[in-house]
Amino acid sequence: MSTTFHRTKAAEAIVELRALPRPSEVPQRPKSLPADSITILEELFQPREVDEHNISLLTRAVRTHGALTPVVVWAAGDKVYLLDGHHRMAAYEGANWTDEVPVEFFEGTVEDALAEAGERNSHVRLPMTTADKQNHAWKMEALGNYSLNFIAAKAGVSKAQVARMRDVKKTLGNLAQCFPTWRAARRHAEGMEPQPDFDPETFKDEQSRRYANRLADEFGNKLSSNPELAAMAFAIHFGRKLPDLFNQLREVMTPAQIEQADKEAENDDF
């Protein structure tokens, strides 16, 4: 059975942005903007996984100290797009920030903006993972017309790896824009199946046990003997994902455990 491939959202987005008019002269840019006037296009300009723990810490910083360092934005058409500062924008939302957000405008083409987003996000303050860097390098190679040295420098990967990506792009041809990750593109170019068959429930069970063992090695019984402290730590770590954790905990609890927890909650109310 043949497989139908479609261009990634990033590939579709960059085509649309290329078609937007660019000003002949750079206009006077504001130093701040309302948060809801900044368009977030994660599929193109967010090369890094969201870190909820970092968002939680930044949210506290907003509540305590006010505005954070300027986010980097890029104007195209009648919109302003976020290049760097996704965690800061999430923190403003979490802190119910109502003032304008400090901004720094980046000037250039959409290809320049894509490269700038990768370079800004590779700063030491919250390092990109190896996979993040590889995926952004692949995005630049698949969607743009950058030099090998430029991609290596902007994405933070080796020249040899970019050369390998260039070979894979040549092998894939037009299909190169259908793969959002370097791993998926490489596997397809090598004639490999997208994903091996596996039992997701078995995988989740084994992975959860590994995580539990790592927690035990690091904390011993400090978390299990002090649920309140554990809850406070998890609240900071999970941030906006805390309600999801709460729902998942009820999914893995037995009916008896849920009944006991509900009774204890009722007793705490009196």
Q: For the segment 242-268, what is each residue's pLDDT rounded down to a tens digit?
A: 899 888 888 877 777 788 888 877 776
The token duo for 208 is: 């959860």
Distance between CA atoms of residues 32 and 97, nearest Å = 13
Handedness of CA 47, 209, 224, 258 (dihedral sign): positive
Question: Does the pLDDT at position 71 exceed 90?
Answer: yes
Give helix then strand counts, H and E, for the chain: 13, 5
- Inter-helix orientation angle 110-121/9-18, to 10°: 130
CA distances from 239 to 57, 60, 196 (A): 9, 11, 33
Q: Tell me, what's the pLDDT at 190?
A: 87
> For the structural domain made of 9-189, what CATH number should be given?
3.90.1530.10
Q: Tell me, what's the pLDDT at 200?
A: 67
Q: Tell me, what's the pLDDT at 126?
A: 56
Q: Tell me, what's the pLDDT at 124?
A: 43
Distance between CA atoms of residues 133 and 183, nearest Å = 12
Q: Tell me, what's the pLDDT at 269?
A: 58
Global pTM?
Answer: 0.65
Which tens digit of pLDDT belongs to each residue from 118-163? Answer: 888 765 455 577 888 899 999 999 998 899 999 998 888 899 999 9
Which tens digit of pLDDT belongs to each residue from 171-208? Answer: 999 899 999 899 999 999 988 655 555 466 776 777 88
Domain with CATH 3.90.1530.10 in the chain: 9-189
DSSP secondary structure letters along 206-266: HHHHHHHHHHHHHHTTTTTT-HHHHHHHHHHHHGGGHHHHHHHHHHHS-HHHHHHHHHHHH
Which tens digit of pLDDT belongs to each residue from 4-40? Answer: 677 888 889 899 999 988 777 778 899 999 999 999 9
Q: Tell me, what's the pLDDT at 149?
A: 93
Among the listed residues 111, 117, 100, 108, the one whose alpha carbon sits nearest the alpha carbon of residue 38: 100
